[in-house]
A and B are shown apart, each in its own frame.
Chain A
Amino acid sequence: MKIEILGTGCAKCHKLYELVLETIKTEGIAADVSNVQDIKKIMAYGVMTTPAIVVDGEVKVVGKIPTADEIKRLLGSK
């Protein structure tokens, strides 16, 4: 699974990145997590509010930090 965290470097974006990394670790999910800061790539997804989570090219969450449970659900449902 490929997970991208979109964010232009704001505090919330970093927090989300950490949170996702942590969730993957505790849940034992095999995933490739990357932090996308390039505005052009972010815009290509049509995202206007950061942070956002993209899983396998599909935008899942926009403009907020979801709870740990939500993240688990997001990543686990695959």
Chain B
Amino acid sequence: MDDCCSTKAGVRHSPFNYIPLLLIPFFITIYFYLERGVDFLVYAVLGLDRSSHLTESIRFFLYDTPKVLLLLTVIVFVVGIIRSYFSPEKTRKALEGKPLFVGNVMAACLGIVTPFCSCSAIPLFIGFVESGIPLGVTFSFLIAAPMINEVALVLLFGLFGWRTALLYLATGLSIAIISGWVIGKLKVERFVEQWVYEMKAGDIRMPEEQVAFGDRIQAGYTAVVDIVSAVWIYIVIGIAVGAAVHGYVPENFMASIMGKAAWWSVPLSVLIGVPLYSNAAGIIPILQALLEKGASLGTALAFMMSVIGLSLPEMIILRKVIKLPLIVIFLSVVATGIMIVGFLFNWIY
């Protein structure tokens, strides 16, 4: 078919679709000049006292908020484009017939890039089980999908640096892979609600349509609007609290509660973190401030993972398809994995 003149193509290949792409270099430029700009504003324009706590807090807030929001916009946009190449249906096809361990690794990795929201956890779960994907592999996907998300990675990168972001990615993946594998070995099939097995899932009959790159950019743009509009407020509040802690809470204040010496802080963080349901956006800026005041990295990571990765609402949704014992197994296996990561990092650093 002539690809430029049909009415369909006319709608889709609008040059306006490419505008967001042009904004990226502009954003990156701002990002690199931001610190100097904020310093100039705080010290030269506003003439604030360099040594006061208030100045420290204001500078921290004025610098970190736009920095994180800029990073977030760019990354969410790029991830939105990448995600448009994936779908749960394709992921299911890719996972079909894969042996256990390989399947776990693939499922965890696909969990990061496949667009997924916990409200479609059930159709996804049934879809996976129906096509014969082992439960352990399905769980690897369900663990990785919420735990490793672009918002968490951006915040970790922006506030802690690339090492911590990478660390989070690697340990999150390991937990998803190993927990799924362990669950697979435990032979938990009998804890799946019977009706799930009785269901007949159809094969989707949707023509694989050619998607223009302009449409993918549009998908990235939509992702930015959706995600940034949902999380910006948490980020601003989180950074504001972080800024206050940064300027006012004394050094090493957290050391006794969340420090290395207190071994019990890791399991405690996980216990508190599981029922707490927050997105990465609100929790990470506060965590940064805590780390600065003497909390240890392992404890902080464990807390963050249990808040983001394990959530009560998701368990309640999953309860419709799996019986309580499996929910408990799922929770304990993942929580154990998170604690091991916490201990490991407290021990290394």
A residues engaging B (CB < 8 A)? 8, 10, 12, 39-40, 42-50, 58-60, 62-63, 69, 73
Choose, from B99-107, B196-204, B283-291, the stretch at the interface. Answer: B196-204
Question: Besides the contacts A49-B116, A49-B120, A59-B206, what 4 more A-B pairs have beta carbons closer than 8 Å?
Answer: A43-B201, A48-B120, A49-B89, A58-B205
8 CB < 8 A contacts A-B: A43-B126, A44-B202, A46-B89, A49-B116, A50-B119, A50-B120, A63-B120, A69-B11
Roughly how many angstroms separate A12 CA and B117 CA in the complex, as a whole number? 11
Interface of chain B residues 103 through 141 with chain A (CB within 8 A): 115-117, 119-120, 122-124, 126-127, 130
Interface of chain B residues 150 through 202 with chain A (CB within 8 A): 199-202
Majority-rule SS of A interface residues: mixed
Give 7 nearest A-B pairs by CB, closest first. Answer: A46-B204, A10-B119, A48-B127, A46-B202, A48-B88, A43-B201, A59-B206
A42: nearest residue on chain B (CB-CB)?
B123
Cβ contacts under 8 Å, B126 to chain A: 39, 43
Cβ contacts under 8 Å, B130 to chain A: 43
Contact A43-B202, Cβ < 8 Å, known A48-B123, A48-B124: yes
Give, as a whole number of angstroms, the nearest-CB distance from B339 to chain A.
Answer: 32
Cβ contacts under 8 Å, B202 to chain A: 43-46
Cβ contacts under 8 Å, B203 to chain A: 46
| Complex contact A59–B119 (CB within 8 A) | no
Roughly how many angstroms separate A44 CA and B87 CA in the complex, as a whole number? 18
